[in-house]
Amino acid sequence: MPDLIIPRDLFNEVLEYCSSVFPHEACGILAGIEGRVARVYPVKNIDPSPVSYFMDPSEQLQIQKRMRERKEEMVAIFHSHPQSPAYPSAKDVHLAFYEDAFYMIVGLSEDIIGETRAFTIVGGNVQEITISIVD
Ligand SMILES: [Zn+2]
C-alpha cells in the first residue's frame, strides 16, 4: 500500500483550516507532484454541517484548472469529522468518486482531537493507508 506523503507545515495547515471551520466539516484538495503533497487547496463546504460536506463545484473547477496550469495532480481529498472518529462514513463511501485519490479525514471530536487517518475507497472498499509526515 502506498503512503500519503505530506510535509509537516502543510499537514499543520490542514489541521488549522479544519479547526477554523469547526463545528462544521471542512473540506479541500491536497495537490502534489509525484504523489507528494505540495499544496493545500481549501474548498468551501456548500452543505455546512457537523456530519457532512459537499465541495463547492465551481470552486473545485477553478482549483482543477489552477492545478493543471501548475502541473499538479490531485493526491488526496481531505475533510474533517468534528464529532465522529476519523473513519469514512457511509455517505463518504457512497460519494467517493475518485478511485485514484486518497481520502484523508481529520478527526476533531474532543476525545480524539487531531486524529488524522487516510484511506483509499474503491468500489465501496475502504483500505487504510499510512500518512508519512516529512520535514
Ligand atoms: Zn466524512
What pairs with residue 28 in β-bridges?
A: 42, 78
Continuous segment of H or E residues that includes residue 127? strand 125-134
| CA 125 to centroid of ligand 1, rounded, Å | 15
Around ion ligand 1, which residues have CB less than 5 A away?
89, 92
| pLDDT 10s digits, 66-95 | 999 999 999 999 999 999 999 999 999 999
Place of cell 475518485: 98
Tell me the per-residue pLDDT of 8-63, one tens digit each, with 9 for 90 and over: 999 999 999 999 999 999 999 999 987 799 999 999 999 999 999 999 999 999 99
What is the CA(135)–ligand 1 centre distance, in A? 28
Contacts with 6 (C-beta within 8 Å, 6 or more apart), sequence order: 14, 30, 36, 37, 131, 132, 133, 134
Cell of 80: 474533517
Q: How far is the CA of 81 from the centre of ligand 1 (A)?
A: 6
Which of 2.60.40.10, 3.40.140.10, 3.40.50.720, 3.40.1640.10 would CATH assign to domain 3-134? 3.40.140.10
| Centroid of ligand 1 to alpha carbon of 105 (angstroms) | 7
- Residue ranges covered by each domain of the chain: 3-134
